[in-house]
Chain A
Amino acid sequence: DIAMTQTPLSLPVSPGEPASISCRSSQSLFNSDDGNTYLDWYLQRPGQSPQLLIYRLSSRASGVPDRFSGSGSGTDFTLKISRVEAEDVGIYYCMQRIDFPSVTFGQGTKLEIK
Chain B
Amino acid sequence: EVQLVESGGGLVQPGGSLRLSCATSGFTFDDYAMHWVRQAPGKGLEWVSSINWNSDHITYADSVKGRFTISRDNAKTSLFLQMNSLRAEDTALYYCVLDNASYLSRIFDYWGQGTLVTVSS
Residues of A within 8 A of B (CB): 40, 42, 44, 49-52, 55-56, 61, 93, 95, 97, 100-108
* Chain B residues bordering chain A, tally (CB within 8 A): 21
Distance of A102 Cα from B109 Cα, bound (Å):
17
B44 lies within 8 A of A101 (CB): no
B107 lies within 8 A of A101 (CB): no
- List of 8 A-B pairs having minimum Cβ-Cβ separation, nearest first: A101-B59, A49-B111, A105-B45, A97-B106, A103-B47, A55-B107, A108-B44, A103-B106
Question: In this complex, which of A44, A95, A100, A101 has the most chain B Cβ atoms within 10 angstroms of its Cβ?
Answer: A101
Report A87 CB to chain B, min CB distance, Å.
18
Question: In this complex, which of A42, A102, A106 has the most chain B Cβ atoms within 10 angstroms of its Cβ?
Answer: A102
Distance of A52 Cα from B59 Cα, bound (Å):
21
Q: Chain B: which residue is nearest A107 at the CB level?
A: B44
Interface flag for B112 (CB, 8 Å): yes
A50 lies within 8 A of B107 (CB): no
Residues of B within 8 A of A (CB): 44-47, 50, 59-62, 95, 100, 104-109, 111-114
Report B94 CB to chain A, min CB distance, Å.
11
How many residue pairs, one in A and one in B, have C-beta atoms under 8 Å apart?
Answer: 49
Question: In this complex, which of A52, A61, A106 has the most chain B Cβ atoms within 10 angstroms of its Cβ?
Answer: A52
Distance of A104 Cα from B44 Cα, bound (Å):
10
**Chain B residues with Cβ under 8 A from A51's Cβ?**
111
Specify which of B100, B104, B108 is in contact with A42 (CB 8 Å cutoff): B108
B109 lies within 8 A of A52 (CB): yes
Specify which of B44, B50, B60 is in contact with A105 (CB 8 Å cutoff): B44
B61 lies within 8 A of A102 (CB): yes
Further pairs besides A56-B107, A93-B45, A102-B61: 7, Cβ < 8 Å: A40-B107, A42-B45, A49-B95, A49-B112, A49-B114, A95-B108, A108-B44
